[in-house]
Amino acid sequence: MKIIITGCGGQLGTDTLVALASCGHDLVSFTSARLDITDAGAVSSVFAAEAPDLIINCAAYTKVDLAETESEKAFAVNEGGVRNLALAAKEAGAAVLHISTDFVYDGSSPHPYTEEDATSPLGVYGISKLKGEEVLREVLPEHIIIRTSWLYGAYGKNFIHTMLRLAAERESLSVVYDQVGSPTWTKDLAGAIVVITNRIEQEASPEGGSTIWGTYGYANHGVASWYDLAVAAIEEASEMKIGTNIICTSIEPIKTEEYPTPAARPAYSVLDTAKIKRVFGIKIPHWRESLKEMLKDVAKMETEVSNEV
């Protein structure tokens, strides 16, 4: 199957490309610098030249706070860019697998969010991502939308890397404890994308089974606050001697109101993963175990860099 992967310069795009590389598919990858999905002409030209069967869209505007003042950029990528991909995919006869977010919810639910729960984003980022979902549904029936949460990986910028950097600079940290979600390792999500991609290939064949198109939630099992995640990351990194210059000895839990940000965030954004597990048979690890594995990758990368020097 011919697959175009967009946003390959990001943490999820990087892990997805690696995960799919050994599956026998014909892969064409684009960083956002190589393919600007807001450029409809560029997208159309690429699809016409490559004739893909599937597009995996990992490209997105993800600067949650900056989106409040850069709304045009956020909507250009998260809504307009998705429209361009959907229209070009329809012309090419291809399907789209698109990554969305827990920020489409407002965080007021008393239970993990299912795909059928009402959406009500709190800020520009969440609204722009929801608009992207809507336009994909309108344009292209052959799509899969994966809503995910609290992504982190060995590559790129994310909360884990920020906490480890700050832990090497400060003896004490203050981290919000009243925002709760499910930390999700990009490598685990990439593995799920591989399973779904292979299923899409089966569905496209004459003997394919019932439809699998639609919206799914994916996140690692378990629940944590940002405070829980920071404590776990620093504890595990210290034990593994990752970044041996960690000096932080105290982490204080604080309320959201004590750390104001331009964009409001959901207080509770745990995703129900029953549907994706049922439809695709995906096994999902607990976030704490995945955090350990991710930090092992970081340690391996540090060792390789050290040996090269």
Residues of the chain with pLDDT under 70: 204-210, 243-244, 302-309
* 261 part of a folded domain: no
Provide the CATH number for the domain around residue 123. 3.40.50.720
Contact 226, 175 (CB under 8 A): yes
Question: Which residue range is the domain that position 73 belongs to?
Answer: 2-158+183-221+269-285
**Is 125 known to be catalytic?**
yes
* 18 part of a folded domain: yes
Contact 281, 275 (CB under 8 A): no
* 214 part of a folded domain: yes
CB atoms inside a 10 Å sphere around CB 141: 12
Question: What length is written for the chain?
Answer: 309
Judge if pTM exceeds 0.75: yes
Which tokens in the block code for residue 206? 């004459």
Q: Which burial class, exposed, middle or buried, applies to 303 when counting CB atoms under 10 A from its CB (0-12, 13-18, 19+)?
A: exposed
* 249 part of a folded domain: no
Task: Tell me the backbone φ, ψ of residue 247, rounded to 5 degrees.
Answer: -120, -5
DSSP element (H, E) containing 100? strand 95-101
Contact 269, 103 (CB under 8 A): yes
The CA-atom distances, in angstroms, between 225 and each of 26, 117, 143, 256 are 40, 22, 32, 11
* 38 part of a folded domain: yes
CA distance 87 to 94: 10
| DSSP assignment letter at 288 | H
pLDDT for position 309: 44
pLDDT for position 80: 97
**Among residues 61, 105, 113, 125, which one is catalytic?**
125
Amino acid at 123: G
* 305 part of a folded domain: no
Q: Which residue has the tokens 């999500």?
A: 189
* 59 part of a folded domain: yes
Domain count, the chain: 1
* 306 part of a folded domain: no
